[in-house]
Structure 1
Amino acid sequence: MLYYEMTGFMPGHRPDGDDDAIALPDPSDSALLLDFDGTLVEIADRPMGVVVPARVPDLLSRAMDRMDGRVALVSGRTIDDLETFLPGFDGNLIGTHGAEARIDGTKSQTQDIDLATVSRLQRLVDDFAALRPEFLVENKPSGVVLHYRQAEEQAGLAMKFMDSLACASDGFRLQPALMAYELKPEGVGKDVGVRTLMGLPGFAGKTPIYAGDDLTDEAAMDVAQGLGGIGIKIGEAETVGRFRLAGPDALVDVLEKWLA
């Protein structure tokens, strides 16, 4: 049970999945907070292999205009990755699960990172993956991810290895994700990022709408709903979200209608 819960595939509560049943507050009273992979774009076999449909930047541009800039991405991606995939988006960004931020165009690290430990963890995970070429390693400024999308049968091995590193690394913890395990600093999370965004001038006092697909998005949805907002789960896994949609296309459809 623990394994399936950690990997995000345990079935559970199924919120309403009917697009027409998703009642969103007026855009003038809302803030739109969105995950990227699996939410705005389909997940790819490799992190840099995602394709951004033309309607996604168009939607973000329309939302920025309609909502006076109260649109932000909250992602496990680095800020550099997000800027690469969405070069025209000038809204706020929370990257690397909250370890990085771009607020009003200014980039920053949100907390001090033990770079020596990050480097050691990345080296160890690289060495491990060299023995298992079906695994894919993604290094980040504040940690490292081991993807097993190409080797689902090795998920247990990946979890045990990454958990052992987390247990031996003060200040870092294991973050399960869909088809991946990430080592990241304690105290970093998308929920913290949502609280930061909702405290900004312009965002404060508005109703947050958060959409995400991964385990890392659950705490963020919980915060958004605790602030009187709405969580939208993308995909099939168990969720605290009030609503559910099948995939990125369905989310973009809903948001396009909402902003029309």
Structure 2
Amino acid sequence: MEYYQMTGFMGQPDPCAPLTDPFPNPKRASLFLDFDGTLVDIADRPDGIAIPDRVPSLLDRAMERLDGRVALVSGRSVEALENFLPGFEGTLIGTHGAEMRQGGEHVTLSDYDTDTVRRLTRLVNDFARLRPEFLVEPKPSGVVLHFRQAEAQSALALRFMESLAMAADGFRLQPALMAYEIKPEDVGKDIALARLLEDQAFDGTTPIFAGDDLTDEPALQLVLDRGGTAVKIGQAETVAPVRLPKPADLLDRLEEWLA
């Protein structure tokens, strides 16, 4: 049993309800999108995703209609997002909110201990060399252990990553879909979004956020608290009142909205 099931975050999947609530008028909206599992389908490996042909043009149209009020909010690094979407000129919030690119400027949003990150990454890499069924994903502010290829070993992954996180001051364990991540305590997509919504360009707008993972739930709640629209992709339990089955359905809905 995985961590999010044991702690009650996710139970039996509910059928996906259609998105019936209208999105706000683009003239007064801001759009925030997770990446993996939201804009693109989840792959077996982080480097194995495929970008649908319509995603870059759809993001360009959103930037035009919303006067630039579009941000990708991802667990991936800003550098990785730039590599996948080199033409996107909007805001990038990476590594769950530890870093951001806005207006071409790269900034760090968390004062984490880089030495601790290096030690954690080394230890997780050593573990994965002993257990090659696991996949390690280093990040600027932490490290992820994926068990998508070893679901039966999820408890082992949890015990190992939990013990490392407990011994690392200033860091915590973040459960995700088929993965466990260790990241700084003061990092979260909701924290980064709250900061961005204070920016002059975004202030006073009605936020929309779409995400698929447990890591997106705090940001979905933040958007609801701000009177916005929260959209869950997939069947996991969520605070979002509306949901869509898969990324392609979100792309369809966005194309409708931006037409």
Provide TM-score, normalisation by structure 1.
0.96
Counterpart in 1 of 2:212?
A: 213
C-alpha separation in 1, matches of 2:151 and 2:10:
12
Counterpart in 1 of 2:31?
A: 32
TM-superposed deviation, 1:60: 0.3
Contact 1:15 1:244 survives alignment (8 Å): no
Kindly report which structure 2 residues correspond to 1:71-82, keeping only aligned pairs within 5 A, or say none: 71-82=70-81
Counterpart in 1 of 2:142?
A: 143
Counterpart in 2 of 1:157?
A: 156
Letter in 1 for 2:82: E
| Residues 1:109 and 2:108 aligned together | yes
Q: After TM superposition, where is structure 1 displaced by more than 6 Å over at least 4 residues in a row?
A: none
Counterpart in 1 of 2:188?
A: 189
Cα-Cα RMSD: 1.6
TM-superposed deviation, 1:5: 4.6
Counterpart in 1 of 2:248?
A: 249
Contact 1:8 1:214 survives alignment (8 Å): no
Instruction: Summarize the Cα distance change of 1:147–1:7 in structure 2 as closer, same or farther, 3 Å threshold.
Output: farther
TM-superposed deviation, 1:11: 2.7
| Residues 1:17 and 2:12 aligned together | no
1:174-199 superposed Cα distances (whole Å, 9 cap, x missing partner): 00000000000011000011101111
Kindly report which structure 2 residues correspond to 1:17-96, keeping only aligned pairs within 5 A, or say none: 17-19=17-19, 21-96=20-95
1:172-224 superposed Cα distances (whole Å, 9 cap, x missing partner): 00000000000000110000111011111121000000000000000000001
Instruction: Summarize the Cα distance change of 1:108–1:97 in structure 2 as closer, same or farther, 3 Å threshold.
Output: same
Contact 1:121 1:143 survives alignment (8 Å): yes
Matched position secondary structure for 1:51: coil
TM-superposed deviation, 1:232: 0.2
C-alpha separation in 2, matches of 1:15 and 1:157:
30
Counterpart in 2 of 1:119?
A: 118
Letter in 1 for 2:240: G
Counterpart in 1 of 2:171?
A: 172
Letter in 1 for 2:75: G
Provide TM-score, normalisation by structure 2.
0.96
C-alpha separation in 1, matches of 2:155 and 2:197:
37
C-alpha separation in 1, matches of 2:16 and 2:36:
22
* Structure 2: stretches of 5+ with no match in the other structure: none
* Equivalent pairs, count: 258
Instruction: Summarize the Cα distance change of 1:146–1:7 in structure 2 as closer, same or farther, 3 Å threshold.
Output: farther
C-alpha separation in 2, matches of 1:35 and 1:226:
18
Contact 2:62 2:70 survives alignment (8 Å): yes
* Structure 1: stretches of 5+ with no match in the other structure: none
